[in-house]
Amino acid sequence: MKVASSFTRWFAVVLFGLLLGGAVQAQGNLEVNTPAIATLKQSMQQRHARLAPLYASGAVGLAADGSVALRDAGSVPLAQRGQVNGLIAAENADRAALYREIARANGHPEWESDVRRTFAQRWIDRAQPGWWVQKSGAWVRK
Q: State pLDDT tens for residues 36-77.
A: 999 999 999 999 999 999 999 999 999 999 999 999 999 999
Cα–Cα distance measured from residue 49 to residue 45, given in angstroms and rounded to the nearest whole number:
7
What pLDDT was estimated at residue 31?
A: 87
Q: Which of 83, 31, 64, 32 is nearest to 73 (CA)?
A: 83
Confidence band, pLDDT 50/70/90 cuts, at residue 15: low
Q: State pLDDT tens for residues 23-37.
A: 444 457 888 999 999
Cα–Cα distance measured from residue 82 to residue 67, given in angstroms and rounded to the nearest whole number:
18
- What is the pTM assigned to this prediction? 0.81
Rounded mean pLDDT, 88-117: 96
